[in-house]
Every structure is written in C-alpha cells, then in structure tokens.
Amino acid sequence: MNKIVPSGLKMLVFGICLCLGCLNGFSQNPTQKSQFWEKVRFGGGIGLGFANGSFNGSISPSAIYQFNNQFAAGVSLNFNYAKFRDDKLLAYGGSVLSLYNPLPFLQLSAELEQLRINRSFDDTVIRLERNYWAPALFLGVGYTDQNFTIGIRYDVLYDDNDSIYANAWLPFVRVYF
C-alpha cells in the first residue's frame, strides 16, 4: 500500500526542518567568547611642551582596536593645561586616532582632535576671557617597544592665534595594554 502524504503536510515538515536547521546553524556556542574585547587595548598618552617660557601638559586616556599586528584605530579623551606668560588655557575634548606599524619598532600615527578651549588672559590692568572650539590634525612618528611608544608629532592645522600648543611640534609618550 502506498500512502500519499498531502503536499501541505510535506511543506510544513520541510519548513520546520529548515527552521530548525537554520536555528542550529546560527546558534551561538555559550562557551565561545567574542574576540572583539581581546583586540581592544587601553592606555593613552602624556604630552609635554616647553618653548620661550611657556608650558603645555596633556593627558589622553584612550582605547584602540588592534585590527592586526600593523594597524590599530580608536578614540581618546583629551585634557590639556597650558600657560604662556599671562595667558592660561584649559582645554578638553576628544579625538580619533589611527596607528600604523610598518616595522615592529616604528609607529606612524594620525590623530584628529577637537578641543573646547577656555582661555583667560590676566594682566595687571585687564582680564580677558575667550571660549571657543579648536581642531588639530597630528601626524606623528615614534619608536615602539611592545606596549610603549615615544615620538614626535606635528599639527598640520596649527594656528598661532587659536592653538593651545606652544608650537606645531610636540613630543609624545603612548602606552597601551
């Protein structure tokens, strides 16, 4: 005896099997960790600048994603303090950065920074205040040894009137873990 199964029932069984197969194929293994956080490194930079009686200090905590052994990109928070004779600046903001190591000991970097500047000028006669936004685009080169990099960077958008930095050239130290 040959029984005929209605085509609707065949389609229903086929659809259920297909759904179960897809669910099984797309289900995640709870013991397998995401590799995203294994490639995230935390750290940051410290900067100091001195020129003609002026001072600039900065600290920049950051997080980068290490795409491979040569390339990483991330974000950073920036806090700066600068003093140029009677001019004082407090700056804060953020930046996006990319790091490239063409050789294991050489690091090239690019960082786009946007800072909110709170500037005050104190003279014996008058006090002036100015608050504004200032961009910077740093291109840098450094020597790298494992998690530590020391180098110099240049601000290609440097503006003598608006920049908080003493000049366009700034040394830096970066550490990532």
pLDDT, tens digit, 9 for 90 and up, residues 136-174: 999 999 999 988 999 999 999 999 888 877 789 988 888
Sheet strands (E) in 8-164: 40-51, 54-66, 71-84, 87-103, 106-122, 127-145, 148-155
C-alpha closest to that of 63 among 34, 109, 96, 91 = 96
Say yes or no to pLDDT of 118 above 90. Answer: yes
- The pLDDT tens digits of the residues spanning 68-112 come to 999 999 999 999 898 877 788 899 999 999 999 999 999 999 999
Q: Residue 41 pairs with which residues in a beta bridge?
A: 64
Write down the CATH number for the domain with range 38-176: 2.40.160.20
Percent of the chain with pLDDT over 70: 81
